[in-house]
Structure 1
Amino acid sequence: MTRTLAATLLLSTALCLPAAAAAKPSAREAKAFIAEVEENYEQLWEEAARIAWLKATYINFDSNWLEAKINAELTEIAVEYANRAKDFDDTRVSDDVRRKLNILKQSITLPAPTRDGAASELAAITSRLDSAYSTGKIDFEDEVVPQNQTEILMRQLRDPAKLEEVWTKWRGNSVQMKQDYVDMVEIANAGAKELGYDDLGQMWRSNYDMDPDAFAEETDRLWGQVEPLYTNLQCHVKYRLNEEYGDEVVPLDQPIRADLLGNMWAQSWGSIYDLVAPPTGDSESINLDEILVAADYTPLKITQTAESFFTSLGFDPLPDTFYERSQITKPEGREVVCHASAWNLDNVDDIRIKMCTEVNADDFRTMHHELGHNFYQRAYNKQPMLFRGDPNDGFHEAIGDMITLSITPEYLQQIGLVDEVPSADGDLALLMNEALEGVAFLPFGLLVDKWRWQVFSGELTPETYNDGWWALREQYQGIRPPNERPADAFDPGAKYHIPGNTPYMRYFLARVLQYQFYKAACDQIGWEGPLHRCSFYGAEEVGEKFNAMLEKGNSQPWQDSLELFTGTREMDASALVEYYRPLMEWLEAENEGRQCGW
């Protein structure tokens, strides 16, 4: 996750101000307008970003107040600019100016309508939603457990009753969010309509250099490429969980209980690897959790190791201020947002990460991912203000994800974490471990925004929010809740990105682009072995071409940037399918005769 210009300014809530009636404006006026916008945002950027950082790393009444105030101010400006940009729709302007005008119109996450007080009301709602999630706690075994520790419990517990307890209690926190969420949808939808969209979902889908309906079809096409792989993985996991827990807990003719998959949201299943692992032959599988602890890794050392991956590609080291100002571990004595994110506070080089890092494999990979955001942010910092971002919001997420694929046994040997690389007969284990993260996530990455699109369009009403959520989770993931959900449940709010109002389709696109970028990098170094064995650590030729794409920021359509690095203009999941081909063949053999599907 990253906080960029789009996230802090253009993606803030905003008050729609009616555009003044005027004669058709000229190209010169359009250019002057863009210059005014970029100059103003240059001045506003740092104040807004530092307040957002303060709120995320020191949650209290005052930081909430400051964030709500600056958001209300900024949002009035953001959609005033969006409405003024509409005035130039029929004006002939240069390609760069047209792209910047479109960015102003399309990049607002939560617009508010014209009525007095709407922007302040919306800003207050979003601040409350964010804080309600971040400060949520549960009582478990006579202890008060904060949000980040509930995630650890879901990874470590194996008793179905205790898993159900933690899972259910965490969702109890989100009940309080529902009315705020309902009000937020009503206000933001009204704002989207004033900007000329049918609803907020259409507005979100318009930001992909293609028709909004065509974009929805594109996501379905990509899902179709990977669905057979996911279906086989889900079937295998269901049967192994049945062997572990029995028919009463895991009946083979039903979707899998969501609390049994080692993750609070059943979006990644790596924590149950030991229950579903394939045979490793004579090769011992790598337990990175144990290796990191044995090697005396600390959160700081994890951060430095991730940085070294990028410098091995030829990128300059992070500035000293990164280590001085980042939140690498959870501070004592104050409430913070532990959800990992990367920040650029001055839009130049005050780049930071915010994590509550633990010494484990998950956070080792997450740190590589988050630094991908930071190096991307610095790469495009010489672009004009409105082009400092990614051309497709899947790009930012894919950059770090691409690096995590290069965390192969060969890479771990190169940095001294393992002495010997396991033989090829352990590759199925490696691929299963990766698939429990990269493949298991795919349908969840798709359905979160599909749910929101249905909410924004009115297809789902507040009374059917929860039923619609679980219908999509069963349809795409083949999972179900562990118990009957109460009438007032708001289970979507148990996932940060819903109360945090962060569009989620970027994560689905990132999974596809991750493998597409990765294969392109491996092709560039002339890799001839199985794709999953490739590591481009130390390949400066990859870094040079990679940086050339990153430097473009949002200055051109994503199709142009994709072509610059991969040679193709279409997102394509075939690299992902190729990566997991050996595992897919094994899964198909294992699943023969089983009752797959749901």
Structure 2
Amino acid sequence: MLPKIFIIGLIHLLTVLAKDASIEEEEYEARNFLAVLNKQTEKDNNRLTKANWAYASNLTENNLKNQLAIAAEVAKNEKEAWQRVGQYNWKSFSDPSLRRHFQKYSVLGTSALPEEKFKQLNKIISDMEAIYSKAKICPRGKKETDGEECKLGLEPELTNILAKSRDSEELKHVWVEWRNAVGPKCRSLYEQYVNLSNEAARLNNFSDTSQYWLDDYEDPDFKNQIQSLWEQLNPLYLQIHAYVRFKLREKYGDIVTEKGPIPMHLLGNMWGQSWHNIGDFMLPYPDVVDNDLTEELRKQNYTATKIFRTAEEFFKSINLSEMPDTFWQRSILEKPADREIVCHASAWDFYDQKDFRIKQCTEVTGEHFITAHHEMGHIEYFIQYKDQPVKFREGANDGFHEAIGDLIALSVESTKHLRKLGLVHNEKDDPKQVLNHLFKLGLSKITFLPFGYLMDLWRWDVFSGKTKPDDYNCKWWELREKYQGVEPPVDRSEEDFDPAGKYHIIADVPYLRYFISFVIQFQFHRSLCEKAGQYEPNNLEKPLHECDIYQNQVAGNTLKQMLAMGSSKPWPQAMEVITGQRRMDASGILEYFKPLQTWLEQENKKNNAHVGWEPSKKVCVRTRQELNEAQKNNTTAFSQT
């Protein structure tokens, strides 16, 4: 007779084997199910993207109606697939790739909403996008009754005024009227959007939309990681902020205080997110002849198409892919004259492994030259991971997608590269010219960092309910002051809704990806430059800011390997392919701008420029009536009464 302990062990073993056999059989069935589901998802995504493109490239009611109808049909299919996915015991699968695939399908997103609420949410977002894209204002001194002249849109008219005008009253007019044209019309819609978006998040087992957005980063400590990165970068930002405020005060006088936040309308950009347009009157070495990329592009008869062909040539030179013929046939590279479109530059994957497009209202400027490389970076990512299952056809995280084009642009913007293209003519870099270039780039990269961070800080608190609708606008300005050290040109109230003046807010686009991108693009750049033999730590002959990986296939092949992964692995593994690290690290950007930071610290000390800022003198209250009272009483700081 067998010992009792042996019998118990045998029963346990048979049970385990039976269970394993059951799981193995379920995994086999699951793979077959996913093969069918992948084709259906690909087909649905293609239909929906075509409808989205049709509307974004021609803002008509018919196109909107078609977009919403197809979105509803696709949502219905997604919900059915989601329910079937839930019938599998996928968390017990032995294959980690299979588990990951099911995990991606287990989060449904807004399609979890009941059909009518899903349609309502999409209609609200589309309506806000239309308000934003169609908004027009009058020139200063004109009224709507003046008719023809009151047709200034964001792109290119208002953007150009903010970039080029040095008339503070004109800048204030444009800043205020743009927000008047968009914010109040979007406010009630935005409250509805928040409620419906949170309802969808809860149906996906998240507490609110902020938790849903953060889930993609696959790390419960991710918020703290981001906070640590910002703390690492803040000293650099404080130095450039102090220098810029000092120079603005020299130019505009007392409308810029010595120690307070910077009036945002003076920063050359509608949102104060990039300050490079005001670099012309505050360069470290103003007497050094500057390389004017815009002027050179126009002198050499660049067109929108030539700009994008130049970008394509860079990617080809590092052994990445050329654009397919359909890209050139179907992309919109210039603003059409015959219809309203969403001009915000964007790259599109149509999920059929061959149709990839860019929509950009390109102007022949240095800024758009760089933007073209950024957008084509998205397309290159699409092409490299096109053979992945459709749920893995996305960036390792959304910051990766934004980083790729900007990574390339770091090489493109170097004088070394522009000289190769014949867009810079001097044979050797002047150190003063190099510092001017670093400063101008810092006015784009460094100044963006707090803005890229606070956009979602604001939304996380809105979604969680910590910031109530009655405090939307004042909380917005509280964060703008706290992290950016900027203030509005006029007092604000809760009857305004200034967050809506930024496209990503009303278009339901998370923004943390851009902050992440601005950190990791330098981390990637440093690693690829080392692989290309163009950068060595502590070697003054090979500084990071002068590296250009153009025509280097060793760097390109490393990048290609990472791009092809899509999101098939957690992002730290994708990070490791390029950098050998599994965490984000801000030391790359700090090293890149080290010569600039040293110069800024010396200059601010010499000028006795205040570093940091005191509370704003502007007010933010609930109503216009309270605003009038506050102004009479000379109330200070952003008060949420």
Deviations 1:527-581 (A, max 9, x none): 2411101111111111111111111111111111111111111111100000000
1:80, CA displacement in angstroms?
4.5
TM alignment of 1:371-520, pairs within 5 A: 371-407=376-412, 408-420=414-426, 421-520=428-527
Residues 147 and 80 of structure 1, relative CA distance in 2, 3 Å threshold: farther
The percent of aligned pairs where both chains have the same amino acid is 38
Q: Is 66-75 or 499-508 further displaced after alignment?
A: 66-75
Q: What CA distance in whole angstroms lies between the structure 2 residues aligned with 1:451 and 1:53?
A: 29
Matched, 1:591 2:592: no
Matched, 1:118 2:117: yes
Matched, 1:352 2:357: yes
1:316, CA displacement in angstroms?
3.0
Matched, 1:151 2:166: no
1:93, CA displacement in angstroms?
4.4
CA contact (8 A) 2:178 2:501 kept: yes
Matched, 1:279 2:279: no
Residues 480 and 84 of structure 1, relative CA distance in 2, 3 Å threshold: farther
Q: What CA distance in whole angstroms lies between the structure 2 residues aligned with 1:469 and 1:76?
A: 36
* Matching residue of 1:164: 172
- Alignment equivalent of 1:565, drawn from 565, 569, 578: 578
1:284, CA displacement in angstroms?
2.5
Matched, 1:97 2:118: no
1:74, CA displacement in angstroms?
2.1
Larger radius of gyration: 2
**The residue matched to 2:348 in structure 1 has which SS?**
strand
**The residue matched to 1:551 in structure 2 has which SS?**
helix
Matched, 1:189 2:210: no
* Matching residue of 1:207: 216
Q: TM-score, normalised by structure 1?
A: 0.92
Q: What CA distance in whole angstroms lies between the structure 2 residues aligned with 1:79 and 1:41?
A: 11
- Alignment equivalent of 1:313, drawn from 318, 330, 334: 318
* Matching residue of 2:132: 133
Deviations 1:10-43 (A, max 9, x none): xxxxxxxxxxxxx999434543443342121122
Q: Is 23-32 or 390-399 further displaced after alignment?
A: 23-32
Matched, 1:177 2:186: yes
1:89, CA displacement in angstroms?
5.7
- Alignment equivalent of 1:548, drawn from 550, 554, 561: 561
* Matching residue of 2:548: 535
Residues 494 and 333 of structure 1, relative CA distance in 2, 3 Å threshold: same
Q: What CA distance in whole angstroms lies between the structure 2 residues aligned with 1:123 and 1:117?
A: 10
| More contact order relative to length (CA 8 Å, sep ≥ 6) | 1
**The residue matched to 2:504 in structure 1 has which SS?**
coil
TM alignment of 1:38-77, pairs within 5 A: 38-77=38-77
Look up the equivalent residue of 1:131 and give its one-letter code: A
* Matching residue of 2:264: 258
Residues 33 and 184 of structure 1, relative CA distance in 2, 3 Å threshold: farther
Q: What CA distance in whole angstroms lies between the structure 2 residues aligned with 1:112 and 1:166?
A: 41
Q: What CA distance in whole angstroms lies between the structure 2 residues aligned with 1:491 and 1:347?
A: 39
- Alignment equivalent of 2:344, drawn from 320, 329, 339: 339
CA contact (8 A) 2:321 2:383 kept: no
Look up the equivalent residue of 2:113 and give its one-letter code: P
1:78, CA displacement in angstroms?
3.2
1:107, CA displacement in angstroms?
6.9
1:91, CA displacement in angstroms?
3.2
* Matching residue of 1:296: 301
List alignment gaps of at least 5 residues for structure 2: 1-21, 143-148, 537-541, 614-641
CA contact (8 A) 1:106 1:206 kept: no
Residues 329 and 250 of structure 1, relative CA distance in 2, 3 Å threshold: same
1:466, CA displacement in angstroms?
0.5
1:422, CA displacement in angstroms?
2.8
Aligned residues: 570
**The residue matched to 2:137 in structure 1 has which SS?**
strand
CA contact (8 A) 1:170 1:494 kept: yes
**The residue matched to 2:242 in structure 1 has which SS?**
helix
Q: What CA distance in whole angstroms lies between the structure 1 residues aligned with 2:471 and 2:82?
A: 33
Matched, 1:198 2:207: yes
CA contact (8 A) 2:471 2:494 kept: no
- Alignment equivalent of 1:367, drawn from 369, 372, 391: 372
**The residue matched to 1:406 in structure 2 has which SS?**
helix
**The residue matched to 1:513 in structure 2 has which SS?**
helix
1:138, CA displacement in angstroms?
1.1
1:251, CA displacement in angstroms?
0.8
Q: What CA distance in whole angstroms lies between the structure 2 residues aligned with 1:83 and 1:246?
A: 63
Deviations 1:230-255 (A, max 9, x none): 111111100100000001x1011210
Residues 118 and 157 of structure 1, relative CA distance in 2, 3 Å threshold: same
CA contact (8 A) 1:122 1:184 kept: yes
Residues 90 and 342 of structure 1, relative CA distance in 2, 3 Å threshold: closer
1:132, CA displacement in angstroms?
1.3
Q: What CA distance in whole angstroms lies between the structure 1 residues aligned with 2:379 and 2:207?
A: 35
CA contact (8 A) 1:111 1:192 kept: no
**The residue matched to 1:343 in structure 2 has which SS?**
strand
Q: What CA distance in whole angstroms lies between the structure 2 residues aligned with 1:146 and 1:518?
A: 36
CA contact (8 A) 2:91 2:99 kept: no
* Matching residue of 1:16: none
Q: What CA distance in whole angstroms lies between the structure 2 residues aligned with 1:520 and 1:314?
A: 17
* Matching residue of 2:592: 579
Q: What CA distance in whole angstroms lies between the structure 2 residues aligned with 1:317 and 1:578?
A: 32
Q: What CA distance in whole angstroms lies between the structure 2 residues aligned with 1:576 and 1:106?
A: 34
1:350, CA displacement in angstroms?
1.3
Residues 30 and 424 of structure 1, relative CA distance in 2, 3 Å threshold: same
CA contact (8 A) 1:391 1:555 kept: yes
Q: What CA distance in whole angstroms lies between the structure 2 residues aligned with 1:464 and 1:89?
A: 43
Look up the equivalent residue of 2:62 and give its one-letter code: D
CA contact (8 A) 1:67 1:127 kept: no
Q: What CA distance in whole angstroms lies between the structure 2 residues aligned with 1:179 and 1:362?
A: 34
**The residue matched to 2:506 in structure 1 has which SS?**
coil
Residues 289 and 540 of structure 1, relative CA distance in 2, 3 Å threshold: same
1:82, CA displacement in angstroms?
4.2
Residues 484 and 112 of structure 1, relative CA distance in 2, 3 Å threshold: farther
TM alignment of 1:218-237, pairs within 5 A: 218-237=225-244
Q: Is 33-42 or 372-381 further displaced after alignment?
A: 33-42
Residues 82 and 201 of structure 1, relative CA distance in 2, 3 Å threshold: farther
CA contact (8 A) 2:107 2:204 kept: no
Look up the equivalent residue of 1:552 and give its one-letter code: M
CA contact (8 A) 1:343 1:353 kept: yes
Look up the equivalent residue of 1:130 and give its one-letter code: E
Q: What CA distance in whole angstroms lies between the structure 1 residues aligned with 2:321 and 2:225?
A: 36
Q: What CA distance in whole angstroms lies between the structure 2 residues aligned with 1:535 and 1:29?
A: 49
Q: What CA distance in whole angstroms lies between the structure 2 residues aligned with 1:347 and 1:473?
A: 41
